[in-house]
Structure 1
Amino acid sequence: MLFRFFVLIGFVALAASAQAQEPLGMVLDVQGSVSAADAGKASRVEMLSYLKPGMELDLAPGSSLTVTWYASSKEMKFSGPAKLKVAKEGIQGARANERSLGEEKVALGKNGMPGRLAQATIMMRSLGRAPEEALSPPKGAKLASLTPHLAWKGADDRNYRVVIEDLKGGTVLETVVRGNAADVPPQKLAYGGAYRWRAQFEPGATTAEGEFSLIGRAEAERLAKLKPGDNASFSDWVIYAMALEDVSATSEARPIWKKLAAERPEEPKLRQYADR
């Protein structure tokens, strides 16, 4: 009986410790020199890293740090110089410029997205780029857009016949284009559908072929609400790229990561996500 009591106490202590270390927010943007001290270890603060209780943050003059705060579903931006401490009650040490994000945007960080992105990056780099990735979209890609851009290796001064079929063999588009790219017009594809396509010289044999599928309508409606508008902030685009990754639309998230990486060349994670 006494043994069971101590085992129970041990489980309660472990659960309390785990809860105490649960992330309270996530870093969306870092500019300039921002360092963190956590459990006695100092390191540079990176984008898409978590804020944990007890973490101390040091913002150098001219630097800035933008984070999400899970409890209030807010975005908080701090400017240096500042010394901050992360506590369960909030981030102490300086006032932040705040704006409401809403639970849906903040939840993208809470569901383990940074870890999944890191794992996918390692896997893709170990496998290397497949030859068919010369196609756009890559073979087997999942897409969010109903009007995808198709591209393939080939002469850019020739006519190609482009055919898109559903998985039952029904033709949904057949057209002739000049050059090795084609944009699918509106009202040809449907959310939740899966398609095969091919491009061939006009006349001639098939030059390229691939397949892709589309996300469901509910996912598309959710993405539409998250898509940044004109003059959107850097952090808005980070959130949208994560939202695309969340529905496995990696080929459409990649150009956004590339654009973000160009704006923050000192952030290795962004370049890694863009180069997968």
Structure 2
Amino acid sequence: MSLLRAATVAVLVANFFLSTSGWADVLITDVIGKPGLVSKPPLAILNEVVNGSLVEAPAGLQFTAIDLVTGKEYLASGPGQFRIASAGVLSLTTGTVKVRSVADGSLPDVRIATGKLSRASMTMRTLLVKLPMYPSNTAIPDTTPTLRWAHMAGASSYRVTVSDDTNRAIWQRNTTEAQLALIPDSGLRLGNQYTWKVEPLNQTGDPVSNATSAGFFVVAEDAARVLAAIKPEPDASFSAWVLYAAQLQQAGATDDAQTIWQALARERPGDVNLKKLVK
């Protein structure tokens, strides 16, 4: 290899995941293949790849890339060489590329620390992960969340109160369950902050202990529109769930993102990348 070619390859690898504009061109949301199959340069979930990058994929390896500018998803299958370009992911040799739209227009860039990649396919099965109190110090993606909390000793029912950022109660209900769904007329508005509290009550309706409370905010209108557009169905692809979780995290909806990261990590227990995202 000539010194010029060696220098060119070194620059390509060094700049593969960097963008001088601060905006990634594509986000890698899945890599599937038998153990030992590695693309060149190696791809990992949540890598951000810039235009002009070349990817060599062996036979039996696939990678999925989301173009954050156009909202299109590209499923590239080796063997072959692929170029990341403004027109999307292009096959330069024998590889194939399937394209579909996942959003109508651009998606927010993401910045999430990742680790190594484990390659396996999956289908999302179950998303519900118990949290002590949800939502708590996080954003929520829409105005109709289901509030959840742990059962409290001695409680026959619970009084749930939601207040705005002036501490004015805007919504209150009683329930015998440890969760309560807010309805469209509950008073939540996009971009606003709220607090909520749960009071455990006995059979006569008197408090049996102190209330527990938490705060949250609803994402802004632009983020809510993106999240609603890309929200996957329960049996959606691994790529779709990675993209949705990444956008939730970017919008500040860390509780919802964490629920999905945990479910993904259970599906791929050997994935160091996902383990780093689970708290």
On the 8 A contact 1:155/1:180 being kept in 2, the answer is: no
Instruction: Say yes or no: does 1:84 pair with 2:81.
Output: yes
Gaps of 5+ in 1: 1-13, 120-132
On the 8 A contact 2:138/2:255 being kept in 1, the answer is: yes
Mark the CA change 1:75 to 1:186 in structure 2 (over 3 Å): closer, same or farther.
closer
Q: Secondary structure at the match of 1:228?
A: coil
Instruction: Say yes or no: does 1:147 pair with 2:144.
Output: yes
- TM-score (normalised: structure 1): 0.69
Give the superposition deviation at 1:252.
1.5
Q: Secondary structure at the match of 2:45?
A: coil
CA distance in 2, matches of 1:252, 1:20: 27
**Mean alpha-carbon deviation: is it higher for 217-226 or for 158-167?**
217-226
Letter in 2 for 1:98: V
On the 8 A contact 2:141/2:224 being kept in 1, the answer is: yes
On the 8 A contact 1:51/1:86 being kept in 2, the answer is: no
CA distance in 2, matches of 1:117, 1:35: 22
Number of matched pairs: 233
Greater fraction helix: 1
1:129 match: none
Cα deviation digits, residues 14-52 of structure 1 (max 9, x gap): 9xx9799646533221122441334xxxx4x32122446
CA distance in 1, matches of 2:17, 2:112: 25
Mark the CA change 1:256 to 1:193 in structure 2 (over 3 Å): closer, same or farther.
same
1:195 match: 194
On the 8 A contact 1:74/1:99 being kept in 2, the answer is: yes
CA distance in 2, matches of 1:91, 1:257: 31
2:161 match: 163
1:28 match: 29
Letter in 1 for 2:149: W
CA distance in 1, matches of 2:250, 2:73: 20
CA distance in 2, matches of 1:73, 1:198: 39
Instruction: Say yes or no: does 1:118 pair with 2:121.
Output: no
Identical aligned pairs, as a percentage?
A: 23
CA distance in 1, matches of 2:154, 2:238: 35
Letter in 2 for 1:258: Q
Cα deviation digits, residues 133-192 of structure 1 (max 9, x gap): 732212x21112322222333238622222222222322222222143333233113222
On the 8 A contact 1:156/1:178 being kept in 2, the answer is: no
Letter in 2 for 1:222: V
Larger radius of gyration: 1
CA distance in 2, matches of 1:143, 1:221: 13
CA distance in 2, matches of 1:69, 1:185: 35
Give the superposition deviation at 1:87.
6.1
Greater relative contact order: 1 or 2 (C-alpha under 8 angstroms, separation 6 or more)? Answer: 2
- TM-score (normalised: structure 2): 0.68
Mark the CA change 1:75 to 1:197 in structure 2 (over 3 Å): closer, same or farther.
closer
CA distance in 1, matches of 2:196, 2:84: 53
